Structure 1
Amino acid sequence: MCIHNNIRKKDNNMEHKKTAMQRFWGKFARGVIRHRLKVILAELLLILATVALFLPNLTQDVAFESIFGKDSDVKQHNQLFKDLYGRDEVTIVALPSDAIFSLPFLTRLQSLHEALENASDKIEEVTSLLNARITEGTDDSIIVHDLMENFPQSEAELQAIKDRVLRNKAYRNTLINKSGTFTTIIIKTEVIDDLENVDVVLKIREIVDQYRSEDFPIYVAGSPAIMQVLDSTLAKDFGKFIALTLLVICVILGFLFRRPAGILLPVLTIFLTLLLTLAFKSMFHSPISTVTNALIPFILAVGVADSVHILSVFFSTWTDREPHDALIATVEHCGTPCLLTSVTTAAGLFAFMNRDIITIRDLGIFGGIGALTAFVLTMTLLIAGLSFLKKPKAQVHKSIKPIFPWLEDAIPALGVFGVRHYRAIFGVIIFTAFLIGYCISLITVAHDPLSWLGKDEAVVTATRVLDEHLAGSVGLELMINSDREGLFKEPDFLQALEQLEHKAKAYLKDGKPFISSVTSLLTIIREVNQAVNEGKEEFYTIPRDRKLIAQELLLFETGGGADSLQDYVSFDYSDGRMTFRAPWIETTGYAEFLTMIEREAHTLLTASSEMPQDDIVLTGNMAIFSQALKAMLPLSIRGFGLAFLVISVLLIILFRNVKLGLISMIPNLFPIGLTLALMGVFDIHLDMFNLFVGSIALGIVVDDTIHVIHHFQQIIAQNGGQIESAVKATLTVTGRALLFTSVILCLGFSTYLFSSMGNIYSFGILLIVMLTTALFADFIITPAVLMFFYKNRR
């Protein structure tokens, strides 16, 4: 905002007091006005061409590993796993019933199984009790076949199958629960992208819906099903955010300016900013994710702030002079603070730049680009558009009265209060800082993508039901990549692997076993050893003789089990995997188990084979979740520190004083600290989404401080006077604009409250609280800061 009384003075009395930056912006505005048609046509053509060329290729990706960059160890390990063993994520169709081993149930299961096999050509394998692997021994061979190769016809056959299933340890907690009242169909697909996953899961759901009934309940769970819901929710929220945010902004602009130009020009500016930013995302192959989806209301709300400042000054002064002169004077006085506020907003976002966590990196890069793009289009398209307006008739101008006349007194009064009681205010801040610090210490870090969805969402219910009966909806993969051929036939190594398996199954969380099932080559070897020993239970073990192990594996392979071997070990037995299944919990709950299993794997497996620890890798969703949150916490701290440093330097440059630049951060840090304290008090967890709310907010809330102090300095430099009167004059003309921009930002971010995802909803709440607190901080604390700094200069 600018000083209206100064703008209204004659130019020849003010020209000598203009700064170099004001003269620059005056020349810039004259150039835009002189070439306004060229500016408008050139920018529109460039923007529309860019949007038409790149925006149609914008993609969406909510895959859990998409958090990481392609060069990160996590992404490379995950890709290596897929290259060796295929996709580790499976869709699980779960069926509870007390009559699983009855002909009516098995007949319906068979029909559903066959329908799912034909659901999509992307489906690689469907496994249920019907085709579960059975390993049987004859005199001199092994036969591997499906459990129900011959569909049962009699009660005796059904009972025999039931006995065999409940005795088979490989089926337990994967295909059947211990009591035999809950069974699953496990669907594995090829390695597919996000859109293909959505298509496959929707086809699975369509088939399931045809079979589901009151006496045949069916649940669809697994990470592909969760990703499909996240994808669909994001797509729904994407359009909703654009429509709601634009509607809110149009209503507020109409309420404030009550002129078509005051609505159409800023809305066109921010809409083109959004399109161009999304086109840039597409250009650099950056998909829309659960994090970057929040960019839409952010860019629209933040992008309109500069327009509000310029329009408020222009429309309040253009009746006193020619429109072009009023527009040039407006740009002269608003150009520098608008530039600095855009740069500080971008700086807060650019602080997220990093190599590994690309969703956060992209939020920072393209959020910053959006903020700077909005500034450029505001200073060109908006100015060029306003230059076409004609001077209004006097009676029209007089008919437009201030919307809230009481604000003329209330806002400056808050500033005067801050000046008169600056010592008490600083005392309260110091005292409150200790209280805030304590409350912040209560914040816990937690991350649970499933909690982003509503409790009544079908996939949430399905996951909880699956974990209740099988306790295994999340997978952890232990990859062993050695150069030693035949390693997985060595008895000592297999014994070490078995010890690791026992330690995993013995791990307790909250007094209960945490790992529901462990599968690996050990499972196959035990099956074969039991089969060649007449199926006796005591032979479900790992032989201690290498030749015997090799012989039994050869029998299994030639007996029809070659495909099963490929799922767990390489053809030369140098590489292998071990899969652990655990319930779905918030991410930090996996940390202790992951630490334990990694430590034990390094100790046991390297001791038995002398392999390097780097050959042992943890991957899968459990590891990805944990590693992402582990990487993000220091990244958020570093990002906030970097944003604070960069913004502080910018303020020092703008205010031309180190002390003022630093203490002016107080009214910006206070609302952020207070909001974080409220998170601690109300047990709002820091998760992968809101970890960065402080850095984002810092770049936004500092904008109002810049406008207040910048214009305060102008009054002091041009008119002199007492600090109290200068603060009062500053807030008289800037207060309403600051209030209106804050209202626009809060209402713009309020569209987050209409999101179907809880993480975006809470993100919106936190931003609104911060912005509201920051507004009052700038009305009260910033004047106190100015009094503290200038008290000896009166």
Structure 2
Amino acid sequence: MGFKAGDVQMSYEYAPLLPKDDPAYIEQQEFTAQFGNDGNLMVLGVQDRDFFELDNFKNWQNLTKSLQEIDGVSTVFSASESYNLIKNKEKKRFETVQIFNNEIDSQYTLDSLQRVYTNLPFYEGVLHNKETDSYLMAITLEPEILQSEARVELINRIVEAGTEYTNKTDVSIHYSGLPYIRVITAEMIKKELNMFIFMALGITALIIFLFFRSFKVVIYSMLVVIIAVVWALGTQALLGFKITILTGMIPPLIIVIGIPNSVFLLNKYHQEFKQHGNRIKALQRVIRKIGNATFLTNLTTASGFATFVFTSSRILIEFGIIAAINILVVFLLSLLLIPIIFSFVAEPKERHLNHLNNTAVNKIVNKFVHIALNNRTTVYSVTGVVLFLGVIGIFQIKTTGYMLDDIPHDDPLYVDLKFFEKNFDGLMPLEIVVDTKKAKGVLKSSSLMKMDKLETKLAQHPDISKALSLTQAVKFARQSFYNGNEKYYGVPKSNQERNFILSYISKNEESGTELIETFVDSLSQKARMSFRMKDIGTNRMEIINKEIIKEIEEIFPSAKFDTSVTGASVVFFKGTQYLIKNLFVSLFLAVILIASFMAWMFSSKRMVIVSLIPNLIPLIMTAALMGYFGIPIKPSTILVFSIAFGISVDDTIHYLAKYRQELTETNWSIRAAVVLALKETGVSMIYTSIILFFGFGIFGFSEFGGTVALGILVAVTLLIALFSNLILLPSLLLTLEKYITTKSFKEPLLHIYDEDEDIELEELRIKKNTKDA
């Protein structure tokens, strides 16, 4: 596994949130096949009122040349590469002429060329914003490079070229675009992966040492989880999964979730050894007494992650598979290695057992016992108030998602995106395709006018950019046809005028029909209108999407036209909504699955209901906190519930397993069994909950808001679950004793050993294999 772990790779490609049979996904794939990928564009932007000063402009031209020479860059287009269409009356065609050539030798020449450029409305809002003196450079990157590790070097070389420009001009460059955003976030994930592994090891090691006061316990517990981390990375490489923002969290999660196994096993080992002083008998009892219960706790935790398989999202499916497999792996490693290792090392000394008499922890446990025995009415009253407040908080939860939702607002990635949103109305692609159902249908005057009407309406929206489309190209050509007069920038008014202009375009020998073929299919039956949108969130995007569809239906009736609205912006918001809905389904499945495991373990439906109540309340409270503090429901935060529920139920299983053992030893005295079970398992529950609280708390140091929210919310949920299991669960057992302690609970399907089976101390020793000479 260590050998294979070295083969694990970072993910440098976009993982779609929608399943392949979803209509929105199908439309996006059809668009890509027809017109190409809309996610290969990186943009650079500057705000410079002296942009057309000779030296500054030449530096911009030099930047363009240096970018064009980079391997992986297909095209570079900006104001310095803009072209004009010149009407050639003799040949009756347009000639494409670059406005700014490389022989500009004076400010006077540049000023005259600038007037030509600014007289072309085609570029306004696309390459420049004259109101803010902002200029944009569009860089098309090769798809093959973007899907490989080489794209990191590609982006770095582009940034290096931009830095050189900034050093010469003192003008800051803003970088954005989907390829750039994905590379930067992937590198952030890579950096955090190593940080969280060391932080998880450090915090858990410190807490274990404070509890057990033994370096041996710390070293061997760490050894188990380190091996489990190696297995996790090896498993990921074997299955061909790459490291994403979610799978990058698995190694620290394995450490945090795996350490409680060692805590329960070693705590039981020390308890048993203190009773009779026989190391081997203590280890034997550890496996027999809590082995099955520990297996069930890990199985329920793994189930919480495994339910993500039902989301149909590749990134979540991979996360769920790797996490579920390796949580069971860390259980097996713990159950095998801990007893094996401690059968060889020296017996624990008196100071190593002192933690069992921890005065502070025992006082806390005794306080919980007192509350359960004497203040159950207060417990139920407080629980009722908490639930009431929880329901109110839940109704205040908002559901939304942003492309850079998880990035801090002071991060350059976020700041640069806002620059382009402010000056160029965003970067998220929004594509509208109109199918006229007839060859050359999009070239009709009526079709051109309809498209222009739609583009004009949508461009008036504050969150939508000006369109790039066939109509804009035709309007550009019309202006050129009338000798560059700006007032003629518009669609042809008659079929005769349209025919003249299109004939000039079709006869352009230099570029053929390249001016329009980017926006229409080969039959001129379908036309593409390409917009850019701001990152406005899924809720606002849903409203705008409905408005766009309504506008389209009014202008292009479905009886005569087929239309589709797609692009990364649409796929993102629909994918986010789909994911949230499916994550709620996965949470429901997690509850059902875990309840089934507990029914299998305890063979009592009533006991399952009682055991679920203390673990559902923390989920309600966490949801309420999200409502009160304005934390929205989104893919990163909805993960909290399945993960936290799968982990919090572990304490319940350990407690009920011990409770059932004590029932037989106390002649079915429920009161005595509740108290004894709480006193024995309460310490381990507190230990493990503290480890989990601080273990998940380390994710609060992440640069990703979603990871921060996930870590803090899971930590808070588990802390609430601890008090719920230590106070509410014993109270319910005592109140409902006559209804839940049935014969089936006394004789469950999955037996947890509670007898020593007449084992003689003197017969217990390690057997060594020997061979006759």
1:76, distance to aligned residue in structure 2 (A): 4.9
Aligned with 1:698 (options 612, 622, 645):
645
Maintained 8 Å contact 2:479/2:490: yes
Amino acid at match of 1:770: T
Larger displacement relative to structure 2 (702-711 or 655-664)? 655-664
Q: Distance in 1 between matches of 2:560 and 2:130?
A: 35
Maintained 8 Å contact 2:440/2:523: yes
SS at match of 2:79: coil
Structure 2 equivalent of residue 179 of structure 1? 131
Structure 1 equivalent of residue 42 of structure 2? 91
1:594 aligns with 2:545: yes
Query: How do 1:394-473 residues align onto structure 2 when only pairs under 5 Å count?
Result: 400=354, 402=356, 404-473=358-427
1:256 aligns with 2:185: no
1:774, distance to aligned residue in structure 2 (A): 0.9
Give the TM-score, by structure 2 length: 0.89
Structure 2 equivalent of residue 618 of structure 1? 566
Maintained 8 Å contact 2:272/2:285: no
1:137 aligns with 2:87: yes
SS at match of 1:665: helix
Structure 1 equivalent of residue 313 of structure 2? 357
Query: How do 1:423-572 residues align onto structure 2 when only pairs under 5 Å count?
Result: 423-480=377-434, 484-507=438-461, 513-543=462-492, 549=498, 552-553=501-502, 555-559=504-508, 560-561=510-511, 562-572=513-523
1:336 aligns with 2:292: yes
Q: Distance in 2 between matches of 1:64 and 1:176?
A: 29
Larger displacement relative to structure 2 (558-567 or 659-668)? 558-567
SS at match of 1:170: helix
Q: Distance in 2 between matches of 1:793 and 1:159?
A: 89
1:746, distance to aligned residue in structure 2 (A): 1.4
SS at match of 1:454: coil
Larger displacement relative to structure 2 (297-306 or 155-164)? 155-164
1:635, distance to aligned residue in structure 2 (A): 1.1
Aligned with 2:656 (options 672, 692, 709):
709
Q: Distance in 1 between matches of 2:76 and 2:689?
A: 54
SS at match of 1:581: strand
Query: How do 1:601-640 residues align onto structure 2 when only pairs under 5 Å count?
Result: 601-602=552-553, 604-605=555-556, 607=558, 609-611=560-562, 616-620=564-568, 622-640=569-587
1:660 aligns with 2:607: yes
SS at match of 1:126: strand
Larger displacement relative to structure 2 (296-305 or 555-564)? 555-564
Q: Distance in 1 between matches of 2:498 and 2:334?
A: 74
Amino acid at match of 1:383: P
Maintained 8 Å contact 2:18/2:574: no
Amino acid at match of 1:185: M
Task: List alignment gaps of at least 5 residues for structure 2.
Answer: 742-773
Q: Distance in 1 between matches of 2:21 and 2:111?
A: 53
Structure 2 equivalent of residue 205 of structure 1? 159
Maintained 8 Å contact 1:60/1:194: no
1:374, distance to aligned residue in structure 2 (A): 1.4
Q: Distance in 1 between matches of 2:51 and 2:601?
A: 74
Larger displacement relative to structure 2 (260-269 or 221-230)? 260-269
Structure 1 vs Structure 2 CA RMSD: 2.6
Query: How do 1:223-234 residues align onto structure 2 when only pairs under 5 Å count?
Result: 223-234=178-189
1:714, distance to aligned residue in structure 2 (A): 1.5
Maintained 8 Å contact 2:436/2:442: no
Structure 1 equivalent of residue 771 of structure 2? none
Larger displacement relative to structure 2 (531-540 or 371-380)? 531-540
Gap change, CA 1:452 and 1:318, over 3 Å in 2: same
Larger displacement relative to structure 2 (223-232 or 700-709)? 223-232
Structure 2 equivalent of residue 316 of structure 1? 271
1:766, distance to aligned residue in structure 2 (A): 0.7
Amino acid at match of 1:190: E
SS at match of 2:326: helix
1:325, distance to aligned residue in structure 2 (A): 2.1
Q: Distance in 2 between matches of 1:57 and 1:448?
A: 33
1:670-705 per-position Cα deviation (integer Å, ceiling 9, x unaligned): 111111111111112222211121111110101101
SS at match of 2:80: coil
SS at match of 1:569: coil
Gap change, CA 1:596 and 1:403, over 3 Å in 2: farther
Q: Distance in 1 between matches of 2:546 and 2:240?
A: 34
1:595-643 per-position Cα deviation (integer Å, ceiling 9, x unaligned): 22234335544547443x5xx24122x1122012210221122111111
Gap change, CA 1:773 and 1:364, over 3 Å in 2: same
Structure 1 equivalent of residue 73 of structure 2? 123
Gap change, CA 1:776 and 1:551, over 3 Å in 2: same
1:83, distance to aligned residue in structure 2 (A): 4.0
1:417, distance to aligned residue in structure 2 (A): 0.6
Gap change, CA 1:175 and 1:287, over 3 Å in 2: same
Amino acid at match of 2:636: F
Maintained 8 Å contact 1:663/1:785: yes
Amino acid at match of 1:569: V
Maintained 8 Å contact 2:211/2:355: no
Gap change, CA 1:792 and 1:86, over 3 Å in 2: closer
Maintained 8 Å contact 1:412/1:727: no
Maintained 8 Å contact 1:261/1:386: no
1:403-440 per-position Cα deviation (integer Å, ceiling 9, x unaligned): 73232232132133123222332233233322211111
Aligned with 1:160 (options 112, 122, 143):
112
1:137, distance to aligned residue in structure 2 (A): 1.4
Maintained 8 Å contact 2:390/2:620: yes
Q: Distance in 1 between matches of 2:570 and 2:740?
A: 59
SS at match of 2:359: coil
Q: Distance in 2 between matches of 1:554 and 1:58?
A: 56
Q: Distance in 1 between matches of 2:738 and 2:278?
A: 40
1:172-212 per-position Cα deviation (integer Å, ceiling 9, x unaligned): 12211032611111111111215333222211111111121
Maintained 8 Å contact 2:373/2:731: yes
Maintained 8 Å contact 1:74/1:619: no
SS at match of 1:720: coil
Maintained 8 Å contact 2:594/2:646: yes
Gap change, CA 1:225 and 1:108, over 3 Å in 2: same
Structure 2 equivalent of residue 759 of structure 1? 706
Percent of counterpart pairs with the same letter?
A: 22
Q: Distance in 2 between matches of 1:395 and 1:582?
A: 68
1:352-372 per-position Cα deviation (integer Å, ceiling 9, x unaligned): 223632222222222211211
Structure 2 equivalent of residue 643 of structure 1? 590
Query: How do 1:24-43 residues align onto structure 2 when only pairs under 5 Å count?
Result: none
Amino acid at match of 1:136: I
Maintained 8 Å contact 1:345/1:371: yes
Structure 1 equivalent of residue 618 of structure 2? 671
1:531, distance to aligned residue in structure 2 (A): 1.5
Q: Distance in 2 between matches of 1:82 and 1:658?
A: 53
Structure 2 equivalent of residue 242 of structure 1? 197
Gap change, CA 1:600 and 1:792, over 3 Å in 2: closer
Maintained 8 Å contact 1:297/1:752: no
Task: List alignment gaps of at least 5 residues for structure 1.
Answer: 1-47, 508-512
Structure 2 equivalent of residue 20 of structure 1? none
Aligned with 1:681 (options 599, 604, 628):
628
Maintained 8 Å contact 1:241/1:297: yes
Amino acid at match of 2:409: K
Q: Distance in 2 between matches of 1:449 and 1:669?
A: 31
Maintained 8 Å contact 1:64/1:625: no
Gap change, CA 1:730 and 1:233, over 3 Å in 2: same
SS at match of 2:51: coil
Gap change, CA 1:166 and 1:333, over 3 Å in 2: same
Maintained 8 Å contact 2:311/2:586: no
Amino acid at match of 2:345: L
Give the TM-score, by structure 1 length: 0.86
Q: Distance in 1 between matches of 2:295 and 2:650?
A: 10
